Amino acid sequence: MNRSPMEILPDTAEGHARAAQLLRGGGLVAFPTETVYGLGADACNDRAVARIFDAKGRPSFNPLIAHFAERDAVKRHVIWSDEAEALANAYWPGPLTMVLRKRADSPISKLVTAGLDTLAVRVPAHPTAKAVLAGFGGPVAAPSANRSGQISPTRASHVTSGLGDRVDAVINAGVCAVGIESTIIGLVEHPILLRPGGVTKDQLMQTLGAAIAVRKNAEAISAPGQLGSHYAPNAAVRLNATEWRAGELRLGFGDVACDLNLSEDEDLVEAAAHLFDHLHRLDARGGTVIAVSPIPHHGLGVAINDRLTRAAAPRD
């Protein structure tokens, strides 16, 4: 876990290059987008993404938006469509996020998608965000750069006061113009407005020439427990397993004999980084029960336990 002093980077070519270098090394870098300051990490690096949740102190793993420098890079990670093309022509770069089916060969971390087979993608317009994304050359997962439950940051000083040395660097690039979050439209089945934002529903309907459904409780989508489509394994899940029973798939934590270990060293960032991948891999073995070692209920353990508790809840 990083605890060295946060670097304040200038909004210059050198600052952007340093930001890209930190991202390549698995670091956390806060940078401005046209909406708010985002807390960015390499979206293909499980551990870097786990550090986002740790830094924000999020009590749950909601899926994150992957940010890209340009549209062709997006197409390597999602199944593109005519609707996506029309919306990208009209609103990218800009404050519109599209949720599309993830391509099976995309190396995006399962922690970014919360284990779902869909991915939220956006190409931001802010020149600093564009420069960092282009310099890094890959997708960057970036929720707002604030502690969970606190106000979204619209200037670099909000990031330093809120997150301090939990992040490696912030680019000091003045005030964000929009301050409103990106609009999120789901395009996996029929178009559905998942979150209102800068681009309006009427604009989207005009572009698509079609009706757009509205998610009933759009405000609640990011609240813990509200995302109905959350990944659940096929196997039943048994929590706080201090001994293993015959036939169980064993998901361990710490110094235990098991099938897959979230973290032998009891490192919660490592455990979070492995969580979805290990659940998927054990589930793919086709057993009926996945038993999980107790996970300490502090730091990232709170979000891990939230996810496991929902995986263990009775199914409809």
Tally Cβ neighbours within 10 Å of residue 92.
Answer: 20
| Residue count, binding to ligand AMP (CB under 6 A) | 19
Pairing of strands 140-141, 37-42: antiparallel
Residue 221 contact among Mg ion, ligand AMP, none, beta carbon within 5 to 8 Å by kind = ligand AMP
Distance of CA 267 to the CA centre of its chain: 20
Give the one residue of 109, 118, 128, 261 binding ligand AMP; rule: CB under 6 A.
118
Give the one residue of 181, 248, 267, 270 binding ligand AMP; rule: CB under 6 A.
181
Residue 106 touching Mg ion (CB under 5 A): no
- Nearest approach, Cβ of residue 143 and Mg ion (Å): 5
Amino acid, res. 278:
H
The footprint of ligand AMP on residues 243-302 (CB under 6 A) is: none
Give the one residue of 110, 158, 166, 195 binding ligand AMP; rule: CB under 6 A.
195
Q: How many CA atoms lie within 13 A of 68 on its CB side?
A: 22
Tell me how far apart the 2 most distant CA atoms of the chain are, in Å.
60
Site stretch for ligand AMP (CB under 6 A), options 23-31, 117-125, 199-207, 282-290: 117-125
- Nearest approach, Cβ of residue 306 and ligand AMP (Å): 14
Site stretch for ligand AMP (CB under 6 A), options 58-66, 258-266, 267-275, 289-297: 58-66
Give the one residue of 45, 109, 128, 144 binding ligand AMP; rule: CB under 6 A.
144
Residue 184 touching ligand AMP (CB under 6 A): yes
Give the one residue of 62, 81, 148, 207 binding ligand AMP; rule: CB under 6 A.
62
Interface mask toward ligand AMP for 63-82; x: CB under 6 A: xxx-----------------
Residue 128 contact among Mg ion, ligand AMP, none, beta carbon within 5 to 8 Å by kind = none
Residue 222 contact among Mg ion, ligand AMP, none, beta carbon within 5 to 8 Å by kind = ligand AMP
**119 or 308: CB nearest ligand AMP:** 119
The footprint of ligand AMP on residues 215-244 (CB under 6 A) is: 221-222, 227
φ, ψ for residue 291, nearest 5 deg? -100, 140
- Nearest approach, Cβ of residue 152 and Mg ion (Å): 5
**144 or 263: CB nearest Mg ion:** 144
The footprint of ligand AMP on residues 81-100 (CB under 6 A) is: 99
80 contact partners, CB below 8 Å, separation of at least 6: 74, 100
Give the one residue of 33, 109, 113, 144 binding Mg ion; rule: CB under 5 A.
144
Give the residue among 73, 126, 68, 117 at the shortest CA–CA distance from 97: 68
How many Å apart are CA 179 and CA 297, to the nearest integer?
A: 34
How many Å apart are CA 80 and CA 24, to the nearest integer?
A: 27
Residue 120 touching ligand AMP (CB under 6 A): yes
Tally Cβ neighbours within 10 Å of residue 88.
Answer: 19
Query: Which residues contact ligand AMP by CB under 6 A?
Result: 62-65, 99, 113, 116, 118-120, 143-144, 181, 184, 194-195, 221-222, 227
